[in-house]
Every structure is written in structure tokens, then in C-alpha cells.
């Protein structure tokens, strides 16, 4: 899961600052590094650095009427700068959100054909694979032929891809629609992005790209191939956790879906407590829904330190350390019976550390409630959980065992059947909930 955004001005105005401002609104999708590519004197220029977007893309004073940008959450390839995006090769740039299946097979073919690699990401392989297959200058590439290569050769993969070629941006989506990608037209610009929260102003047109879509954008307008498949595998974790609650993700309102989950969880629960307490920020809207349904007061007794963002998408070395430092627990939790709400438990690192911090404030009881089912399986489509042995629920098997592991009074997950009432399995991917 990464964040990608592209801009083209309708009137040759500078879009660099707008592109970076929009990328900042996707910071929640990746924190390892960020980059931007734009046209300068008929040549593409890339700036990319490690760290949060504000630091990685600080003090950029160039002007360009088109750009693509990327914020990275590493699921493949290490944290060296060469793996940050956009990837630039022969005056063509690519941004990618997702994970490419069996990437070493394609890398080996390219190596035998004389290609070399600066990094070890799947995104670099995809860009050079297109050069290998198309065998012509990028200015002559057509969206139809690119889409055919991507959807055929990478049919088992998850990808949303932006390609910047001279005066055009191409956008492509995999055949299962694992990751979101939205097109937005305003009075001034054409925009393509992971989420629609990138734009605050009203728009002329907005639509989510469907599976196997191909889009070509220039300052004159856009051309779309839209096949509208009958069945998709949209990542349900996007709606439950990843997406900004202000976003419409896969054309559904992320905030409202989280409120629905909280309400549904409360309907099946009979715990009486003093407060419903969200783990901020991921648990807030689920807790809001739970509070509405249960009539138990919502109380913000856990706060985040502003300098620490999402711990789940941090690299493994940082994750444990930051989850201990991120949260501040309010003293008013003492002697209170609380219902603690979060969206999910993955590895259990954050949950364990928060609960230990809460226990230091001596609450009367802690009841943990999760607005998704138990995560018991790996994800190979853009979430960094390739090994299910890392998963707390897979290892402990039941809510009761998790309760004992955490040392609290109770743990309850929303059931798979209730979850499916909101997220239809014919549309949404539920693989991580099914062992």
C-alpha cells in the first residue's frame, strides 16, 4: 500500500506545489520515503528522498505543468533510495501502488536480455518489462497495448500504476481492482490519485477506475478504457483501515462504513461500561458507531503524539519502538470500566503496548472490541503481512486466547458473517480473514 498522485494542468500552469500538497494528504499510505517527477526542459526530473513527505520533498522550487508523485510503504524491496519512486528510466517515469507476484521470474528474463537494475523493487521491473515488451520509444506507447501487457503478464498481481511520458500520464489498474485509484477533474487540472481526499475543492467530474481500466491524460483531456468487470477483489482493509476517513474508497464513504461496523459490533455485545474509548486514530469512527448504538459515552482518553504517525506501516525495526512512544493515556481512565475500540489486530504489537500503558493508569476493567474479524492469513497484494506466522490471531486461534495473552477482561471481534453484510465477498477481498 502506497500513495500515488498525478497532475496535469489544463492551461500549462505550475502544478508542483499542488502535487506535493495532494501527496501530503496521502501520507497515511506510506512513510518510508517520497518522490516527485516532473517535466523540465523536455526532460523528466525526479526528486526523491527517505522520510516523511514534508522532509523528503522540502524546498522544491521548480515549475512544471504536469507531475506524478509517490509516498512509499515498503512491501517489496529494501529502504535504499533507489527503491523510492517515481522510478525513472529513459525519460519515462512510473509510480506503483501494490505488489507484483512472482517478480523474480520477470527480473531474471530482463537480466538475461541485458537490462540492469539500480534497486530491488518490483516497480523498477515493471517499467523495464514494458520497454522489453513494447520495443519502441515511449512517446509512441499506446494505453491499449500497455494495458494488455500489464493485465496479461501480471494478472495475479495488485497494481495501480501511473506512467509519465513526455506530455501524458497513463494510469492502469489490475484485473481484480485490489487497490483504489480515482480520477478527478477540476476547473484547472486533471488529477489521478489513490484517494479523493487529495482535493478539497469541488470538482467537475470524479470517478473510481474499475478493474483493468486504462486511462490516458493530457492537457487536452482524457481517454478511458473501462471494462466494468462483474467480480472484483477490492481490498477490504482499504475501507476498514488504510483510507483517510474523508475519502470515498472504491466509491464508498470510508467514515460511514466504519461507523456501520461499530454499530453492528455493539448490537451483538452486552458489556456495560463507563466509557467507549477509541485507539486513535484508527479506532475513532468504529468507536463512534459503537457509542451511538450502545448509548455508552464516547471518551477520548488515548491521544497520539503528533510527531509519530502510523506504526502499522512503519518498517519492522521502528514498529515496536514507536508503538511504545506514540500514545498518551489520560489519568481519567483510573478505576473505570472501558470498552477499547480499534479496527483490527494484526501482529498485536500496538495492542499489547497500548494495553500495558493503560494498565499503568489502573482501570477497573478493559474490554477490547475490534471492528473487523480475526486476521489469520497472509496478504500478497500490497499489505506487508507476507507470513501468517506473524499474526496474533493465527497463532492464538481464538478471542479467549487473545484475551489471556493481553491480560484483559474480554476480547471480541466482529464476526465474518456480520462483516460480510457490509462488505460483500463478491466485491471485496476477505482473504486475510480466511485461514
User: What does R_g of the chain's alpha carbons equal in angstroms?
Assistant: 22
- Residue 337 β-bridge partners: 365
Q: What is the pLDDT of residue 200?
A: 85
Place of cell 494488455: 148
Say which residues have a Cβ less than 8 Å from residue 374's Cβ, sequence separation at least 6.
345, 393, 399, 413, 433
Q: Which cell goes with 218?
A: 493530457
Angle among Cα 308, 382, 343 to the nearest 5 degrees reads 55
What pLDDT, in 10s, does the model give residues 82-113?
899 999 999 999 999 999 999 999 999 999 99
What pLDDT, in 10s, does the model give residues 231-265?
899 999 999 999 999 999 998 999 999 999 999 99
Give CA–CA dist 133/148, Å, rounded. 11
What is the rounded average pLDDT of the residues 278-303? Answer: 96
CA distances from 419 to 102, 227, 372 (A): 31, 28, 7
Which of 16-25, 70-79, 80-89, 210-219 is the least confident region?
70-79
Q: Give the strand order in the sheet containing 214-218.
A: 87-89, 92-99, 158-165, 168-173, 214-218, 221-225
Give CA–CA dist 307/60, Å, rounded. 23
User: If you classify domain 253-433 with CATH, what class do you get?
Assistant: alpha beta
Q: What is the pLDDT of residue 25?
A: 96
Q: What is the pLDDT of residue 218?
A: 97
Q: What is the pLDDT of residue 318?
A: 55
Residue 336 predicted with pLDDT over 90: yes
What pLDDT, in 10s, does the model give residues 343-370?
999 999 889 999 999 999 999 999 999 9
Residue pair 34/26 in contact (Cβ under 8 Å)? The answer is no
Domain boundaries, the chain: 3-232, 253-433
CA distances from 174 to 4, 109, 155, 325 (A): 15, 22, 7, 38
Span 3-232: which CATH code? Answer: 3.60.20.10
Residue 393 predicted with pLDDT over 90: yes
Residue 386 predicted with pLDDT over 80: no
What is the rounded average pLDDT of the residues 266-281? Answer: 95
Q: What is the pLDDT of residue 319?
A: 52
What pLDDT, in 10s, does the model give residues 137-147?
999 999 999 99
Residue 313 predicted with pLDDT over 50: no
In this prediction, residue 125 has a pLDDT band, given cuts at 50, 70 and 90, of very high
Q: Which cell goes with 410?
A: 474480554
Q: What is the pLDDT of residue 309?
A: 52
Q: What is the pLDDT of residue 185?
A: 97
Q: What is the pLDDT of residue 74?
A: 74
What pLDDT, in 10s, does the model give residues 31-40?
889 999 999 9
Q: What is the pLDDT of residue 320?
A: 57
Residue 321 predicted with pLDDT over 70: no
Amino acid at each position: 500500500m502506497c500513495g500515488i498522485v498525478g497532475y496535469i494542468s489544463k492551461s500549462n500552469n505550475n502544478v508542483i506545489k499542488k502535487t506535493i500538497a495532494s501527496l501530503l494528504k496521502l501520507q497515511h499510505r506510506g512513510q518510508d520515503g517520497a518522490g516527485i517527477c516532473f517535466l523540465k526542459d523536455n526532460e523528466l526530473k525526479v526528486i526523491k528522498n527517505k522520510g516523511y513527505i514534508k522532509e523528503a520533498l522540502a524546498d522544491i522550487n521548480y515549475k512544471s505543468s504536469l507531475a506524478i508523485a509517490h509516498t512509499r510503504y515498503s512491501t517489496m524491496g529494501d529502504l535504499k533510495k533507489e527503491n523510492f519512486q517515481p522510478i525513472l528510466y529513459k525519460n519515462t517515469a512510473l509510480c506503483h501502488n501494490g505488489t507484483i507476484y512472482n517478480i523474480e521470474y520477470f527480473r531474471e528474463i530482463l537480466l538475461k536480455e541485458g537490462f540492469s537494475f539500480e534497486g530491488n523493487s518490483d516497480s523498477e521491473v515493471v517499467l523495464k518489462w514494458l520497454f522489453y515488451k513494447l520495443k519502441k520509444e515511449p512517446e509512441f506507447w499506446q494505453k491499449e497495448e500497455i494495458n494488455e501487457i500489464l493485465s496479461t503478464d501480471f494478472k495475479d498481481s495488485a497494481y495501480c500504476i501511473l506512467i509519465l511520458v513526455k506530455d501524458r500520464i497513463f494510469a492502469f489498474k489490475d484485473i481484480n481492482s485490489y487497490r483504489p485509484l480515482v480520477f478527478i477533474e477540476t476547473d484547472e487540472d486533471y488529477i489521478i490519485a489513490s484517494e479523493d481526499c487529495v482535493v478539497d475543492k469541488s470538482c467537475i467530474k470524479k470517478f473510481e477506475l474499475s478493474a483493468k481500466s486504462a486511462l490516458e491524460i493530457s492537457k487536452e483531456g482524457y481517454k478511458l478504457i473501462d471494462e466494468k468487470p462483474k467480480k472484483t477483489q477490492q481490498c477490504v482493509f482499504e475501507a476498514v483501515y488504510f483510507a483517510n476517513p474523508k475519502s470515498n474508497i472504491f466509491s464508498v464513504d470510508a467514515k460511514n462504513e466504519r461507523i456501520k461496523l461499530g454499530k453492528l459490533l455493539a448490537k451483538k455485545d452486552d458489556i456495560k461500561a463507563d466509557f467507549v474509548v477509541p485507539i486513535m486514530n484508527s479506532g475513532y469512527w468504529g468507536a463512534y458507531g459503537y457509542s451511538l448504538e450502545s448509548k455508552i459515552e464516547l471518551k477520548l482518553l488515548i491521544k497520539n503524539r503528533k510527531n509519530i504517525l502510523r506504526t502499522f506501516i512503519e518498517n519492522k525495526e521502528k514498529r515496536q519502538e514507536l508503538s511504545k512512544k506514540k500514545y498518551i493515556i489520560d489519568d481519567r481512565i483510573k478505576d473505570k470500566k472501558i470498552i477499547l475500540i480499534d479496527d483490527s489486530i494484526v501482529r498485536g504489537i500496538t495492542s499489547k503496548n497500548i494495553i500495558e500503558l493503560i494498565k499503568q493508569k489502573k482501570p477497573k476493567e478493559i474490554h477490547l472490541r475490534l471492528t473487523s474479524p480475526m486476521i489469520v492469513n497472509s496478504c500478497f497484494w500490497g499489505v506487508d503481512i507476507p507470513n501468517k506466522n506473524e499474526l496474533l490471531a493465527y497463532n492464538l486461534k481464538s478471542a479467549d486466547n487473545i484475551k489471556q495473552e493481553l491480560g484483559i477482561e474480554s476480547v471480541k471481534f466482529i464476526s465474518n458473517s456480520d462483516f460480510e453484510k457490509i462488505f460483500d465477498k463478491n466485491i471485496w477481498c476477505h482473504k486475510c480473514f480466511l485461514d
